[in-house]
Structure 1
Amino acid sequence: MSNGEDTNNRTVLYVSAAIVLIFVAWGLFLPSAMSKVVNSVFAFLTTDFGWLYLLAVAVFLVVALGIACSRYGRIKLGKDDDKPEFTNLQWFAMLFGGGMGIGLVFWSVAEPMMHYLSPPIGQGGTPESMALAMRIVFFHWGIHAWVVFAIGGLALAYFQFRKGMPFLISSAFYPLIGEKVYGPIGKAIDVLSVFATVFGVATSLGLGSSQIATGLQYIWGIKSSPGTISIIIAIMTVIFTLATVSGLHKAMQMTANIKLWLSVGFMVFIFLFGGMVGILNNLIGTLGGYLQNFVGQTLWMGNLSWVGGWTIFYWAWWIAWAPFVGQFVARISKGRTIREFVFAVSLLPAGFSFVWLAIYGGAAFQMDKISHGAIQAAVNADYTTALFATLKQMPFYTLTGPLAIILIVASFIGAANSATFVLAMLTSGGNMNPDQKLRGFWGIAQGAMTIVLILVGGTAALKALQTASIAAAFPFMLIMLVMCYSIFKALREDENEVNNKVLNNGE
């Protein structure tokens, strides 16, 4: 690589790093000023542009499913003679694994109970609000989320594997701006994708570390506070950064295996001891309600305050995660057709999430009834303790409580380690094996960013994390909307080239 090309690739790194460092310094030295800005940004975006987040995800849904069902669905993510790298079973297993993360562990009990107690419409604490709560959770964690990831992954996989372009979001804009993707416009797109990824991951790490801290308090009485959470983040950051820089692949694989087996183990355990029949009834009934209200709920804005705090936050969070999760699903899908890719990525992890949420949410409602409101009381006091309060109502809590913390820690380390790799790749010109020092920098930067958001947010840390995702996702959401048109344009040109080749060969 020439020095000129190297400097050009490093532009994204320098600009992205500068933005992150300025943000961290701002939060450390002027926390009250940052807090005011955070509140203003949250109010502005959710009030004036909340409709755009909902509309954007609806567009992603139509585009992804429309392309998959069209004649373009047969186009391969790779050359025409490329074969899939993994068997169907291996591919499905990895897609399921991609659906498990800190967010599902954090919200699987807390969110259903919070909607049950304070629904967006109607009276709380009723059978109707319970059914509505589960339907909302399915909506937030279901097909809409994974369609966003499918769009991001489709852009990365198509332009990398079929067109041989760098593994960067900017590559998806080649049909629109041509060689300018290698200039300032392309670099700006990549900077915004890094910006969205950093804040999206910081939100997840903040939620995970908060749940670890409250778990320690709930089980062993170690007081949870913003300072305690920050210490946990710092320790975790040191662990996953050292692992990333040292190249401890066996240790990271072991962490991934621990997460997988604990996740499956908890699902089986909670299903067996949380009321199997009730959970199955919950799953089937909620799935029916979810499908029945699919279109109406996609664009529902009947309670603007509630939508801003929940649905818009989730849509922004998924958009911010699109480069991260999209990179993962793209890398394992070379040789698949677009139709296979879109349907598998959109439906399989969503299906897993439905089963997970039905088990955890259904068990929480049943344990709450048996314990005469113990889960409700825990959620009202501190919703981050919801999972531990539920496990406490079941057998073997002295074992499952600590194991739940281990599961959260493993999910934390896995997400952070993967994110450092993606961020390093995005800031090194799409290098599929980025420099370890660069990975180390992004590991430290993610930890510092999360700590700043927790400290600035204080007792209202969730709002700071929500605002970070919503604000960071806004410009990237606009990029993704344009990217949808660019993908369609590229597919149309691709088909024309194939047809021309067929005609020429025939002649």
Structure 2
Amino acid sequence: MSQTSTRTVSADQSAEPPPATDDPGHIGPRRLDRPVAGASVGILASFVALALIVPDRMSGWVGAGFAACAEIFGMYWQILLLATFLIALVLVFTPWAKARLGNQARPDFNRFSWIAMIMMTLLAAGGVFWAAAEPMYHYTSRPPYFSDGDGGVDAVAAALATSFIDWGFLAWAILGSLGAIVMMRAAEKGMPLRPRSLLYPIMGRRAATGPIAAIVDVVCVISVAAGTIGPVGFLGLQVSYGLNSLFGIPDVYPVQLLVIATLTAVAGVSVFSGVNRGIRFLSSANVWLALGLMAAVLVLGSAWFVVKSFFDGFALYVTDFFSMTLYRGDTEWLSGWTVFFFGWFLGYAPLMAIFVARISKGRTVRDLLISTTVLPPVATTFWFTVLGGTGIFLEQKSDGAISEPLMEGGLPAAVMAISGQLPLSLVISFGFLVLTMTFVATTTDSMSFAMSQSCMTSGEPSPRLRATWALLIGITAAVLISLGDGGVEALQSAIVITAVPVGFVMLPALVAAPVYVRQMAREQKV
């Protein structure tokens, strides 16, 4: 397969007339691909309808599909993400990495804004939920990799290293590296900025049209919709829980609905401000608020414990990187943790490639790879240590202080329990609620852009179309949380099912990205 892929991506297909392009730099009429848009909305609506009509049966179907996909494809996803990271890392050190992306001499955004937009789009999915909760889960229940191996490994380091595997280098590599390179190179050749263009290395310009192209677009849109709606639903639950803890406001569905409506409104305002202003402003604000809260937690908690735990956990993560990544000893545990997260990030990958391609013109390949595959994972692991590590520190001081609320209240309880144990708890807790809102609003905004772009045959999507997708995400989340946690969790599990075909869509990038980088370097004589 690799030989065929290499021949295809190296071939000059310029003899064919170029198809209509969705490249953001292209000036042309906006045309909506109604079959793709209609099918995407229809499938999502059908899922919601079945969840409302036969919730138990739907949950059972999704659960069975989730278990089967995690069992059958789990190892493939582990290898795919690992290979993506290793190839991206090798490309950083090649002289070809000096090539600039998108046929543009200068970037559209300064470095801070650019990295902020990339980081906040992914971290919003779990930057507060899971950073506070996952290390505590692994601390109170030792991961099987460490139970099966050396029992002498420190429990704190083991908990953090396990969280780093789920949210570290591999997650970032699949989301923003090789796929984005393929997407941008395909756009240079006249291909649309849509998921179908990831098949350009093996199908050429035929990837722009036909039933396979439409199916790829629909599957990728549904996958990222599921991955975005889940955090929006959890946001309603978490903020409602937090308002009840802080101010005694009833933790009921109308409050959760109001939270989701507020989030959708914030995302809508950002949508109409455009990518250059809306998403950039939200992302930059998120970074500064996150830095402020991180500094406050370090000062008010135990900075020494967090820093020491970070280096211990990161060292264990690096030394056991390959064995932890490829661990298959307890497949049931893996399906609930590592494989679940890998499937979730994989489901996001095609539309993240679109978004990263949209904002990365003029960047060098080395810039792109370092700023997606190296720096953000390190920042993410430190963020997880600040929140999760502080939770462990407080748990050690008072047994059950964090673990008991977490076990009783689930994800929303973790960050509130941690904040509640610190001085200035009211201020810190409210700050995390605001941060959670803006985190998820950023993802809703950026992914509504990517979903809208995936439904365009030409031109860039209008603010109205993007706002429509943001509204649909909010409405779907509101309907599903009316069923309780189960509705949102079913959708979260569904993303693992949709990740199965997405995993094969991302496969050609392993061969194509290095070939394209080499071609660009030769063309630009670097």
Fold-level match, TM-score > 0.5? yes
Q: Tell me whether 1:112 sits opposite 2:135 in the alignment.
A: yes
One-letter amino acid matched to 2:227: G
Per-residue CA shift, 1:5-48, capped at 9, x if unaligned? 98783332222222222222222333233122112112211223
Find the counterpart in structure 2 of residue 401 from structure 1: 429
CA contact (8 A) 1:417 1:443 kept: yes
Distance 1:88 1:266 in 2: 22
Matched, 1:26 2:53: no
Aligned length: 494
Contact 1:98–1:349, Cα closer than 8 Å, also in 2: no
| Cross-structure match for 1:143 | 169
Aligned counterparts, 1:120-159, within 5 A: 120-121=143-144, 128-149=154-175, 150-159=177-186
Measured after TM superposition, the shift of residue 156 of structure 1 is 2.2
Is contact 1:420–1:443 with CA below 8 Å preserved after alignment?
Answer: yes
For the pair 1:15 / 2:23, whether they are aligned, the reply is no
Q: Find the aligned partners of 1:407 and 1:198 in 2 and give their Cα distance.
A: 22
Cα displacement string for residues 338-389 of structure 1 (whole angstroms, at most 9, x for unaligned residues): 2332122101111111221121122112222223431122112123211111
Asked if residue 42 in structure 1 is aligned to residue 66 in structure 2, the reply is yes
| Runs of 5+ unmatched residues, structure 2 | 1-19, 22-28
Give 1:406 shift.
1.4
Which range moved further: 387-396 or 57-66? Answer: 57-66
Percent sequence identity over aligned pairs: 27
Q: Which amino acid aligns with 2:508?
A: V
Task: Write the deviation string for residues 149-187 of structure 1: whole angstroms up to 9, x where unpaired.
Answer: 123322222322x43432222223233212312212222
Amino acid at match of 1:216: L
More helix by share: 1
The counterpart of 1:447, out of the listed 474, 478, 500, is: 474
Q: Which of 194, 198, 206 matches 1:168?
A: 194
- Residue aligning to 1:264: 291
Q: Distance in 2 between matches of 1:214 and 1:48?
A: 37
Q: Alignment partner for residue 452 of structure 2, among 395, 402, 424?
A: 424
Q: Deviations over 1:394-421 (max 9, x none)?
A: 1111222222211111222222122222
Partner of 2:25: none
Gaps of 5+ in 1: 503-507
Cα deviation per residue 1:449-472 (whole Å; 9 max; x = unaligned)? 32344345x344564243122112
Q: Distance between the aligned counterparts of 1:17 and 1:439, measured in 2?
A: 13
The 3 A distance-change label for structure 1 pair 43 and 452 is farther
Q: Does 1:291 align with 2:314?
A: no
1:23-79 Cα deviation digits (max 9, x unpaired) = 222223332331221121122112232222212212322332344444643433133
Aligned in 2, Cα 1:259/1:65: closer, same or farther, shift over 3 Å? closer
User: Secondary structure of the residue that 1:374 maps to in structure 2?
Assistant: coil
Could you say what secondary structure the match of 2:457 adopts? coil
Deviation at 1:251?
7.3
Provide the rounded CA distance (Å) in 2 between the counterparts of 1:170 and 1:249: 25
Q: Describe how 1:414-493 pairs up with structure 2 within 5 A.
A: 414-429=442-457, 431-432=459-460, 434-456=461-483, 458-460=484-486, 463-488=489-514, 490-491=516-517
Counterpart of 1:120 in structure 2: which amino acid? P
- Is the contact made by 1:168 and 1:430 (CA closer than 8 Å) also made in structure 2? no
Distance 1:225 1:153, change over 3 A: farther
Give the CA deviation at 1:98: 4.8
* CA distances 1:110-141 after superposition (whole Å, capped 9, x unpaired): 11101111122267999832221011111111
- Contact 2:420/2:429 (8 A) holds in 1: yes
- Partner residue in 2 for 1:83: 106
Matched, 1:387 2:415: yes
Match of 1:316 among 336, 343, 355: 343
C-alpha distance in structure 1 between counterparts of 2:291 and 2:474, whole Å: 28
Contact 1:54 1:315 in 2 (8 A): yes
Residue in structure 1 matched with residue 439 of structure 2 by the alignment: 411
* 1:443 CA drift (Å): 1.6
Inter-partner Cα distance in structure 1 for 2:174 and 2:221: 17
DSSP 3-state at the match of 2:459: coil
Secondary structure of the corresponding residue to residue 119 of structure 1:
coil
Q: Report matched runs for 1:197-346 at 5 Å.
A: 197-224=224-251, 229-230=256-257, 232-241=259-268, 244=271, 255-346=282-373
SS for the counterpart of 2:33 is: helix
Structure 1, 384-393 or 235-244: larger mean CA deviation: 235-244
TM-score normalised per structure 1: 0.87
In the other structure, the counterpart of 1:181 is 207
Task: Pick closer, same or farther for the CA change 1:454–1:427 going to 2, 3 Å.
Answer: same
Q: Which moved more, 1:64-73 or 1:240-249?
A: 240-249
C-alpha root-mean-square deviation of aligned residues, in Å?
Answer: 3.2
Q: Determine the C-alpha separation between the residues in 1 that align with 2:384 and 2:185.
A: 32
**How has the CA–CA distance of structure 1 residues 256 and 143 changed in structure 2, closer, same or farther, with 3 Å as cutoff?**
closer
After superposing the two structures, state which structure 1 stretch, 311-320 or 62-71, moved more: 62-71
Please say if 1:350 is aligned against 2:377: yes
Find the aligned partners of 1:19 and 1:332 in 2 and give their Cα distance. Answer: 29
Quickly say closer, same or farther: Cα 1:26–1:6, change in 2 above 3 A.
farther
Taking a change above 3 Å as real, the CA distance of residues 29 and 308 of structure 1, as seen in their structure-2 partners, is: same
Equivalent pair of 1:153/1:322 in contact (CA under 8 Å): no
Alignment CA distance shift 1:25-1:303 (3 Å): same
| Counterpart position of 1:505 | none
Do 1:60 and 1:147's aligned partners in 2 also have CA atoms closer than 8 Å? Answer: yes
Give yes or no for contact 1:99–1:352 (8 Å, CA) kept in 2.
no
After superposing the two structures, state which structure 1 stretch, 385-394 or 188-197, moved more: 188-197
SS at match of 1:82: coil
- Residues 351 and 98 from structure 1, CA distance in 2 versus in 1: closer, same or farther, beyond 3 angstroms? farther
Distance 1:411 1:343 in 2: 22
Per-residue deviation, 1:281:
0.5
Q: Distance in 2 between matches of 1:412 and 1:8?
A: 26
Q: How far does residue 85 in structure 1 lie from its aligned partner after superposition?
A: 3.7
Which has the higher mean CA deviation after the structures are superposed, 51-60 or 95-104?
95-104
Structure 1 contact 99–349 (Cα < 8 Å) conserved = no
3-state SS of the aligned residue for 1:429?
strand
